[in-house]
Amino acid sequence: MGQDGGVLLSIPSPDIRSFSLGPLTIHIYALCLMAGMAAAWWIGSRRWVARGGRPETFETIALWSILIGIVFARIYHVLTHWGDYFGPGRNPWSALYIWEGGIAIFGSLIGGALAAFLVCRHLGARYGAFADALAPGLIIAQGIGRLGNWFNQELFGGPDDGPLGLEIDPQYRPAEYADVATFQPTFLYEMTWNISGGLLLLWLDRRFKLGWGKVFALYMVIYGTGRFFIEGLRTDVSYQLGPLRTNQVTALLVLLGGALLFVTLTRLRPGREPWVERRGIGGPDAEADADPDVDADADSGVDADADTGTGGGATAAS
């Protein structure tokens, strides 16, 4: 039986949210986020190098994207849950307590995308190519990160007495559902959707040789679609924009923006880029870096060959 007379078959919630190592308290939520970041880094780096990019370039762009993304993720969460941190009886300093949970994926995407754009320009890397290399690992990472919500017993859906009902301890239930034992496991829905979406992106990129940001555009469509519907199932407090939750509106904008971007890039930028960074394989500065005496004009033949889509590093790793 589930808690409080729940259903015979249900998903139990973990009894642990953190553990101690000496004076340190390790939050499992944070470990899930770090595991997701590691997966995205590993997949993205392999794909970037397979396309002809240098690993150090990927590392620099990814590091800045993660750091700025975390800051924006917390800012977005606080802005969309203002009442949790400011007002009578609230501790404003808790807005900084990121280890207690509360970071918004949409905020991390905004901050990370902005940081990646600026660093790509500085390093001479193609922004669309970097986004394409990262996209499959990114959505898989988002799926892994949802395990943290399971350990925290948060962001679940409405009542569910079916076999996938998620057991939630009384202290974590919304007041209006105090007597309900099991809820929809939205963490599992989104984790399954995201990891499946990442595998689909890897297959589509290998099958159709996508480039110029088209993989990332499809990521926006896949992630936006899943998040729009799953967000509508959740019971946590959220600001509303008409009949929709704030994150549903954002997800819809991401979905539509991704669809428009994919159609536009497919028409204007077919195939893949001839090179992904100026100093990478096939890039206009690659030979000049290797031999300072080489005239830069000698690289023009590389670009001409690469325009066919078979040039340096065109095959993406999966």
Measured N-to-C along each axis, helices 105-123 and 55-80 cross at an angle, to the nearest 10 degrees, of 150
> Strand, helix or coil at 97?
coil
Tokens 């040039």 found at: 311
> Strand, helix or coil at 308?
helix
- Rounded Cα–Cα distance for residues 299 and 278 (Å): 11
Per the rule left: phi > 0, alpha: psi between -120 and 50, beta: everything else, 275 is beta
- Rounded Cα–Cα distance for residues 277 and 125 (Å): 4
Total Cβ atoms within 10 A of residue 30: 15
CA distances from 299 to 210, 272, 274, 285 (A): 24, 18, 12, 8
Give pLDDT tens digits along the chain (318 positions).
Answer: 444 444 557 999 999 999 999 999 898 988 999 999 999 999 999 999 999 999 999 999 999 999 999 899 989 888 878 777 887 878 787 777 776 667 788 899 999 999 999 999 999 999 999 999 999 999 999 999 999 999 999 999 999 999 999 999 999 999 999 999 999 999 999 999 999 999 999 999 999 999 999 999 999 999 999 999 999 999 998 888 999 999 999 999 999 999 999 999 999 999 999 999 999 999 999 865 554 443 433 333 333 333 333 333 333 333
Instruction: Indicate the burial class of 76 (C-beta count within 10 angstroms; 0-12, 13-18, 19 or more).
Output: buried
pTM, two decimals, is 0.84
- Rounded Cα–Cα distance for residues 130 and 174 (Å): 41
Question: 24: part of which helix (H) or strand (E)?
Answer: strand 24-27
Phi, psi torsion values for 8, nearest 5 degrees: -65, -40
